[in-house]
Structure 1
Amino acid sequence: MTQLSSLTRYLLILIPAIASMYIESYSSNGMYVFLILIFIWIAELRRKIFSKSAWTLLLEIGFSGWMSYHYDGILFITFYSTLISYVTTVNSHIRYYIVSIHLILLNISLHNQSSSYYLIANLIFISLTLLLLQMLQTVQNKEEIELLYDRLRRQHYELDEARAQLMDYARKVENIAQTDERNRISRDIHDDLGHKLIRLKMMMEASLQILPTQHKKGVDMLMSVRDQLTESMELLRSTVRRLKPDEETLQTYSLERLIEGLTADNGISIEVEMQGMPYVLYPSLEFILYRNAQEAITNAIRHGSATQVLIQLTYEPKQITMCISNNGKRPNERSVNGLGMSGMEERSKLIGGQLTVSVEDRFTVTTVLPTFRQIESI
């Protein structure tokens, strides 16, 4: 019980006790004061020692009812002092039984009072009980919200950590793949081209030695070196060609190819504006931009009946921003938060990006992705 609650509780005992002495004429004021002190002692005993004891609570309720029954006045107000001490703390299984007993004793103690006293006392009792229960429910809801917030915050931290681990794992996989490819290429160059060049060097040295004495044989050896150099050059070209992906692979998730397909199939006008200096993106970033652009343009055609779409790409040192706006009709809130938008948002957040939607002038979907570039200091 808080300090304010304790103060209110004892004021609800002392004020009606003192006021009743002026309202009623008692045969022995000393005995009356003694009984009031006993009641305060029981209340203090409950507060400090027997706070969870139901029997001590019933003793206080019974003693309060006995005092109000014999001394009349406005001592029925002491019932409210006891009420505020247990409604929010007693076990919920017995709370309503005790409240019912409390209310019955309140009405019994008012046997000599007028009907207006009955009405006012019962209204105050019921109203105060409902108010205390509502306060208890509010406190419980607040605690549940705080627990839920803590749980969501922990999950958010775990998600951020998992995303960081996923990005680190992706970078490690990419580095391992690049290392394996470099090792394969170095072996090919060493085993094929390296051996050929060493043999050609030896043949050229031999031809230089025999050329003055055996001119024809020396020339034949030099011609053989020339032919083998041609083969080595072809081997080098084929190795370099294997390093470069084919155009079909490079264009799989290209925005240009997406625009060409949608323009041809739907007859829609799509414009692209670029700001900043373009640079090469990770394949995962290109995939997310491609899918988000595909979803945004498809939604603009399907739901907004758009005829014009503007794609704005902004290249910044540490992030890339893609804004897609259209001239179609603006969707309602339910459409904005649909399954397609949720997928776009999940893809963006997976690598630490974000997705925002604006419906002010034109319906605009903005994707912001970190590029994880290492900016070299000049």
Structure 2
Amino acid sequence: MLPLLLITRYTLILIPAIASMYLESYESNGTYVFFILLFFWIAELRRTIFKRAVWMLLIEIGFSGWLSYTFDGLIFMIFYSTMLTYLHSFHRHLRISILGVQLIALNLSLQGQSSNSYVLANLLFFILALLLLHMNQVEQNKVDIELIYDQLRRQHYELDEARMQLLDYAKQVENIAQLDERNRISREIHDDLGHQLIRLKMMMEAGLRILPIQMDKGMEMLTSVRDQLTESMELLRSTVRKLKPDDDSMQSFTLNRLIEGLTKDKSIAIEVDIQGMPYVLYPSLAFILYRNAQEAITNAIRHGGATSVQIQLIYETKQITMSVSNNGRLPAAQNEKGLGMTGMEERSKLIGGQLYVAMDSAFTVTTVLPTFR
């Protein structure tokens, strides 16, 4: 039991007991004090030893009813002291049953007293019962909210860990792809260029031996070596070019390429505002920004009839923010998300980002992505 609740419990025993001693005339105050101390002892036994014993609770209720019936006065208030001890301990049906038993005992103990005492005692009983039940419900709701919060926090940690594992997996896949490509190129150099160079070396050595004896035959072999060296050089250049993608491949999913294509095809004016110091993004982040901007601009043209689009990029230390707004018509209300908007949101959340939609002066779609620099 909480300290404040414990103090309130014993205050509801002590004050009515002392007040009744002055309000009523008892044959023996010593006997009265003895029974009050006995009630204290029963209350302490319930608090320390028989905490959840229903039979001990019923003994306390019966004894408090006998005290109230025998000594009159304000002793009926000790019923409220007992009420403080079980409304937060037992399950709902048992609480209601015990409340009914206590209410019956309270009214039986008030026999012979004035009707005002009946009304006052029952009114206080119901008010206190409702207050305690409400407090118990609030406490239970608090516990439930804490449990939900713990579950959400645990799920957040699990989601964050899964996102980090996904990023790590993406890096591993990228490394494996690079390793496979390097192995393929190394095999190609070894199998084609390596063997060809060995053959050319052997032909050159043979030509050097033959040249002093048969000059024409030696020059023919050296000419063949020269021609094959030219082919080998072309093969080497081709292999080196494969190691570095061309500019078109590197810029397939950049905003510049998107702007150029849309301006050419759709005849729409696009303005870009870059804030902060730009830095290199992971290909996955650049792809998400590209696709989200593409979808936002396409929706602006298709649904809003926009002729001008503003793209704002904000580079920050731990995140990048892209806002795409247009001068098209605003929708009458926030309708259900379509496939395009859902795809934008799913792409953003896949790596821990967020997607926001605002309809103030212009329809604006904002993508916020963590950069993991």
What is the TM-score of this pair, normalised by structure 2?
0.85
Q: Name the counterpart of 1:197.
A: 197
Once structures 1 and 2 are overlaid, which stretch shifts more, 254-263 or 81-90?
254-263
Q: Name the counterpart of 2:52.
A: 52
Alpha-carbon offset, residue 2 of structure 1: 1.6
Q: Name the counterpart of 2:285.
A: 285
Structure 1 residues 267 and 214, CA, compared in 2 at 3 Å: closer, same or farther?
closer
Alpha-carbon offset, residue 9 of structure 1: 0.9
1:72–1:112 contact (8 Å) kept in structure 2: no
Alpha-carbon offset, residue 12 of structure 1: 0.7
Q: Deviations over 1:69-118 (max 9, x none)?
A: 22221111111111111111123231111101111222222223333322
Q: Name the counterpart of 1:221.
A: 221
Once structures 1 and 2 are overlaid, which stretch shifts more, 319-328 or 86-95?
319-328
Structure 1 residues 174 and 358, CA, compared in 2 at 3 Å: closer, same or farther?
same
Q: Secondary structure at the match of 1:85?
A: coil
Q: Distance in 1 between matches of 2:331 and 2:136?
A: 42
Q: Distance in 2 between matches of 1:336 and 1:132?
A: 45
Q: Name the counterpart of 2:175.
A: 175
Structure 1 residues 354 and 74, CA, compared in 2 at 3 Å: closer, same or farther?
same
1:115 aligns with 2:115: yes
Q: Deviations over 1:169-216 (max 9, x none)?
A: 221121112111111111111111122222223333443454455432
Q: Secondary structure at the match of 2:132?
A: helix
Q: Deviations over 1:29-52 (max 9, x none)?
A: 222222222222221221122221
Number of aligned residues: 373
Q: Name the counterpart of 1:230.
A: 230
Alpha-carbon offset, residue 313 of structure 1: 3.4
Structure 1 residues 88 and 329, CA, compared in 2 at 3 Å: closer, same or farther?
farther
In percent, how many aligned pairs have the same letter?
69
Q: Distance in 2 between matches of 1:333 and 1:158?
A: 36
Q: Name the counterpart of 1:21.
A: 21
Amino acid at match of 2:236: L
Q: Name the counterpart of 1:376.
A: none
- Segments of structure 1 that go 5 or more residues without pairing to the other structure are 374-378
Q: Secondary structure at the match of 2:325?
A: strand
What is the TM-score of this pair, normalised by structure 1?
0.84
Q: Name the counterpart of 2:312.
A: 312
Q: Secondary structure at the match of 2:85?
A: helix
Once structures 1 and 2 are overlaid, which stretch shifts more, 140-149 or 222-231?
222-231
Q: Name the counterpart of 1:71.
A: 71
1:83–1:129 contact (8 Å) kept in structure 2: yes
Alpha-carbon offset, residue 303 of structure 1: 6.3
Amino acid at match of 1:55: W
- Segments of structure 2 that go 5 or more residues without pairing to the other structure are none
Q: Secondary structure at the match of 2:311?
A: strand
Q: How does 1:218-367 map to 2 (within 5 A)?
A: 218-240=218-240, 242-243=242-243, 253-256=253-256, 258-259=258-259, 268-274=268-274, 281-301=281-301, 306-314=306-314, 320-328=320-328, 343-355=343-355, 362-367=362-367
